[in-house]
C-alpha cells in the first residue's frame, strides 16, 4: 500500500496542535485549571466588589490561551520558514506488514513499526513518531480506505 504526503505550513500547524492536545495533556490541563481558577477569582471579586481585580482576572483568563495560540502559530511559521529543506517536500510512504518506507527526492528510510515511539491518529492525519517530538505525517485524504483501515489498526497496537 502506498500514499504521498506534502509537508506544508498547514500540515505543520496540524502537527503542532495534535502534539499539544494529544501528547501534552498535562500542559493543557494545567492551563485549563489555571483559567478556571482565574474565572473563579473573577466571580468572587465581582461578588465582593473588587471590580478591577475581577476585570483583570477575566482579561488574563482570555489572554492566557490566546497568547499560547499566538505563540504556537508564530513558532510554526518561524520553524517552517527556517527549514528550506522541508518546505513543500513530498514524501511517498510504502507500507508493509511490519515496516514502512518513507521516500523523498533527498533519500529514503525504512522504519519498523516496532521502532516507533508512538502512532497518533487525528481526524485528518496519522503521525508516526520516531521520538516524542519528531514525526512523519501521513495525510488521510491521500490514503485509500484499505490503507486508512490498516493504519488505524496500527494505532490500536501501538
Domain, as residue range, for 146: 2-8+85-157
Residues 47 and 92 in one domain: no
| Percentage of residues of the chain with pLDDT beyond 70 | 99
77 with 14, same domain: the answer is yes
- In this structure, what CATH number is given to the domain that contains residue 150? 2.30.29
| 14 and 76 part of one domain | yes
Predicted confidence (pLDDT) per residue in 122-146, tens digit = 999 999 999 887 889 999 999 999 9
Write down which residue in 57, 82, 107 finishes a domain. Answer: 82
> Could you report the per-residue pLDDT of 41-89, keeping only the tens digit for each?
999 999 999 999 999 999 999 999 999 999 989 988 998 888 877 777 8
Q: Are residues 106 and 65 in the same domain?
A: no
Considering the domain architecture, whether residues 78 and 42 belong to the same structural domain is answered as: yes
CA angle 120, 87, 144 (to 5 degrees): 45
Amino acid at each position: 500500500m502506498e500514499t504521498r504526503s506534502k509537508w506544508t505550513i498547514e500540515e505543520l500547524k496540524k502537527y503542532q496542535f495534535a502534539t499539544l492536545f494529544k501528547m501534552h495533556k498535562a500542559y493543557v490541563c494545567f492551563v485549563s485549571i489555571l483559567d478556571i481558577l482565574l474565572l473563579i477569582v473573577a466571580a468572587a471579586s465581582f461578588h465582593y466588589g473588587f471590580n478591577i481585580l475581577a476585570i483583570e482576572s477575566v482579561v488574563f483568563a482570555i489572554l492566557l490561551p490566546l497568547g499560547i495560540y499566538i505563540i504556537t502559530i508564530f513558532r510554526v511559521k518561524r520553524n517552517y520558514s527556517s527549514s528550506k529543506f522541508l518546505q513543500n517536500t513530498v514524501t511517498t510512504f510504502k507500507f508493509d506488514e511490519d515496516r514502512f518506507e518513507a521516500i523523498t527526492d533527498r533519500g529514503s528510510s525504512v522504519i519498523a513499526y516496532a521502532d516507533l515511539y508512538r502512532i497518533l491518529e487525528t481526524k485528518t492525519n496519522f503521525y508516526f513518531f520516531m521520538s516524542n517530538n519528531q514525526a512523519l505525517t501521513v495525510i488521510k485524504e491521500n490514503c485509500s480506505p484499505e490503507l486508512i483501515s490498516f493504519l488505524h489498526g496500527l494505532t490500536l497496537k501501538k
